Amino acid sequence: MANKKKIVYFLGAGASYGAGATAIVQAGGKIPIPTQATFWNTFLRFCSSRRNRIDIESFLFRYFLGYGKTPARLTPIERRKLLTNIDVEEVFTFLSERARAPSTSPQLRTYALKIWNALVSEIGNVFLHFKPNVKTRSVYRSLMSNHYRSFDTIVSFNYDTIFESSLLARTKARYVGLNDSSGGVSVLKPHGSVNWGVSDDGSIQIESTPAESVIVAPTHLKFVSTNPDEGASQAGYLNQSEEIRDIWAQMEQKMRGARVLIFIGYSFPVSDLYFSSVLRSVLADRDTNPGIVVVNPDAVAISDRLKSRFAIRKVVQYFDIGQFVQSSRAELIDQIIA
């Protein structure tokens, strides 16, 4: 009976944005955590390595805008503005494919791996700039008090730690799948986290500022074949470590036993085909479908997309994370069974 009451909450990039996550910049200014529309501007602004920034920017101008070289006469702000409409997931997918396609020349393969590793290594540096604040604490603590129960699970697709750091001290997050993590709130992070590093024995451990964060890049291709000659090129893929593989397996297990799946700020991007395949498998193997809830300003379009792609007839919609967290668990269940 307890299984039927379980809820799995999925936090996408829109959850951190909707909760008010920001980074402090010069003169005390604040910029919001990036979404697709602001990703490259924010990412390149916060790159820790000047060499990486130059290489990534040059790559984007050449392969996605058709420039022979980066336009030197433009200011950094003007250059970043030109990159706005480049799809983040398409960039990572292009690099992953070019690094593996049989027809790729050795020169392009080497170049693609270089840019891939530069992007993967900088993701942690960029998202470490975003910290919890008064608003994020209010939003996520309301979520915990009004909705979350101890038998529920939080799945965060976000690299940032805004959710975990916004919780009360007595409700500390426990990273499921990591041996050195303890706390009362179960959190699965299938895309990795900016505060995860790799220990000397190769296992993932929690570090406040790791030399290189453990992340799974946003690409169609979640797995990569192992080639000992390519060394660190496996970084950024789902099969980079046993812990990441186990986290995905545990997420799927939790989904199979859940009464409700709630997607907060997650828009089901086309690039995340692997998660879509997980959801499709879960729905096909259950006797009855779980309740589906979408919390997103674009909830209508996302709901229509879900119903067209999966065997889902009803989606409960909320258009604002603040509105959702102020509602109650009982109200939500009533809407689902109505």
What is the structure's pLDDT at 4? 54
**Predicted local distance difference test score (pLDDT) of residue 128:** 94
pLDDT tens digits, 289-316: 999 999 999 999 999 999 998 989 899 9
For the chain, give me the number of helices (H) and strands (E)? 13, 13
Asked if residues 210 and 179 have their Cβ atoms less than 8 Å apart, the reply is no
Residues facing 198 on adjacent strands:
204
Q: Is 304 exposed, middle or buried (0-12, 13-18, 19+ CB in 10 A)?
A: exposed
CA 186/CA 153 separation, integer angstroms = 6
Average pLDDT on 223-236 reads: 62
Residue with tokens 């702000």: 77
Is residue 176 within 8 Å of 247, Cβ to Cβ?
A: yes
Contact 263, 286 (CB under 8 A): no
pLDDT of the residue at 291: 94
Per-residue confidence (pLDDT) for residue 225, from 0 to 100? 62
Which amino acid does the sequence have at 308? S
- The pLDDT-based confidence of 138 (bands split at 50, 70, 90) is very high
Mean pLDDT, to the nearest integer, of 97-101?
A: 87
Predicted confidence at residue 1, as pLDDT, reads 39
Instruction: Calculate mean pLDDT across residues 196-205.
Output: 90
Q: Which of 128-137, 195-204, 267-276, 282-291 has the lowest mean pLDDT?
A: 267-276
Counting Cβ atoms within 10 Å, is residue 274 exposed (0-12), middle (13-18) or buried (19+)? middle
Largest CA distance in the chain: 66
Looking at residue 227, its pLDDT comes to: 56
Edge-first strand order for the sheet with 185-188 is 173-175, 185-188, 153-156, 7-11, 260-264, 291-295, 316-318
Tens-place pLDDT, residues 266-292:
988 776 788 999 999 999 998 889 999
Long-range CB pairs of 168-174 (<8 Å, 24+ gap) are: 168/141, 168/144, 171/144
Give the number of other CB atoms < 10 A from CB of residue 73.
Answer: 6
Could you read off the pLDDT of 4-38 as tens digits, one per residue? 589 999 999 999 999 999 998 887 789 999 988 89
What pLDDT sits at residue 2?
42
Compute how many other C-beta atoms are within 10 angstroms of the C-beta atom of residue 173: 21
